Amino acid sequence: MSWRILALLLVLPAWMGCQGSGISRTGIVGLRTKAQQVVITGLSDTDPRVRAAAVEVVASTGQIQLAPMVLSLTRDPLVPVRFAALMAIGQMQYAPARMQVRQIFDQIQEDINVRMAASYVLVRLGESPYAEYPRKMISSTDQTVRANAAMILGRIPDKQSLKPLYWALEDPGSSPQVIMQAMESIAMLGDTRIYNKIWTRLISAYADDRIAGIRAMGALGNAQARAAIKALLDDEVLEVRLCAAAELGRLGDRSGIQVVKEAFERDLLSTTAIDLGTGPAKGEVAKVIAATAIGQIGSPDLARYLELLLADPSKLVQLAAAKAALQMTGP
């Protein structure tokens, strides 16, 4: 996730200038410019949640020009921001960071999470032996370390990680967060045996369980998983419906487009108040997921809603909208 000084040519997909897109070509250029400003500002925000979210946007939208800014955040005073910055550097495979990241791995002994993120960067840069570190640390009694190790192993395409991931999944000492992350990572590694365990989350009475299950099914991504996600487009909770729309969109299925339209046209986003444990402002979670769905679906019919979200009071909503705008307008 990089925060670059944006003096780039705008490469817009042909459909962005088409009639019926709901927003003009001039509007698209303005949307992208606004999105870039939101990301750059977010990288230096006083709120560490915003800094970490901005870093994620840089990485997920391939804003490699901002990689030097992201790299500077590996020295952030707060561990979650340093962790996010390193994961972003790894995702972007930013080779100029290699020496600095090696130093972090060698010198930062007191925080296992930061060292694991550094190991991920080095694996992504071709140094595969570093994958042994998160495999080892998944047995930690610290549940945050265990969950982060599980998350990292899912992002390293190596089936050797399935054994420690299944161990974490089945260990009685694993927290619910670890169990869910292990499921998702196993799915990311393409092991279809995990389907039944994920499916139990989709029928949970708790909305946050269903959302986590949808994301894990999206990671699995096969036809059976897509069918299971599609059933949640009719869920009673808006955030669950939007999450299903987003994951389907990421998988190339636009079945959820009407769910997103209804959320805006019927003003549902302002009336929902699901709490996923982070204490967000009213409607913030729904707006973030709605923005994600717009970016994943990529339909020009939805682009006009991003203007509203970019103007939202919540910086986290603005960043989610910025991510969607950058996804929809090309690299």
State residue 270's pLDDT score. Answer: 76
**Does pLDDT of 24 surpass 80?**
no
What pLDDT digit, counting tens, does each position of 244-300 carry? Answer: 999 999 999 999 999 999 999 999 987 665 554 444 466 899 999 999 999 999 999
The two most distant CA atoms of the chain are separated, in Å, by 57
Report which of residues 85 and 32 the model is more confident about: 85
**Non-local CB neighbours of 222 within 8 Å, separated by 6+ positions:** 192
**Does pLDDT of 6 surpass 60?**
no
Distances (CA, A) of 86 to 61, 98, 124, 125, 244: 16, 11, 11, 12, 29
State residue 330's pLDDT score. Answer: 73
Task: Give the lowest-confidence range in 25-29, 98-102, 140-144.
Answer: 25-29
Q: How far apart are CA 214 and CA 209, in angstroms?
A: 9
Asked whether 118 and 150 are in contact (CB, 8 A), the reply is no
Report which of residues 119 and 283 the model is more confident about: 119
pLDDT classification of 108: cutoffs 50, 70, 90: confident
**DSSP string computed for 127-164:** -GGGGHHHHHHTT-S-HHHHHHHHHHHHTS--GGGHHH
**Does pLDDT of 329 surpass 90?**
no
Judging by beta carbons within 10 Å of its beta carbon (0-12, 13-18, 19+), is residue 272 exposed, middle or buried? middle
Q: At 126, give phi and psi (nearest 5°).
A: 100, 5
**Does pLDDT of 115 surpass 60?**
yes
**Does pLDDT of 160 surpass 70?**
yes
State residue 283's pLDDT score. Answer: 81
**Does pLDDT of 10 surpass 50?**
no
**Does pLDDT of 13 surpass 50?**
no
Residue 110 has a CB neighbour count (10 Å cut-off) of: 8
Asked whether 118 and 145 are in contact (CB, 8 A), the reply is no
Q: Mean pLDDT score of the chain, rounded to an integer?
A: 89
Report which of residues 330 and 185 the model is more confident about: 185
Report which of residues 4 and 232 the model is more confident about: 232
State residue 193's pLDDT score. Answer: 97
**Does pLDDT of 1 surpass 90?**
no
- In CATH, the number for domain 93-328 is 1.25.10
- Tell which phi-psi region holds residue 6, choosing left (phi > 0), alpha (psi between -120 and 50) or beta: beta
Q: How far apart are CA 168 and CA 99, in angstroms?
A: 32
Asked whether 184 and 154 are in contact (CB, 8 A), the reply is yes
Asked whether 284 and 317 are in contact (CB, 8 A), the reply is yes
State residue 281's pLDDT score. Answer: 60
Q: How far apart are CA 185 and CA 113, in angstroms?
A: 17
What are the domain boundaries of the chain? 93-328
Percentage with pLDDT > 90 across the chain:
82
pLDDT classification of 58: cutoffs 50, 70, 90: very high
State residue 154's pLDDT score. Answer: 98
What pLDDT digit, counting tens, does each position of 203-257 carry? Answer: 999 999 999 999 999 999 999 999 999 999 999 999 999 999 999 999 999 999 9
pLDDT classification of 153: cutoffs 50, 70, 90: very high
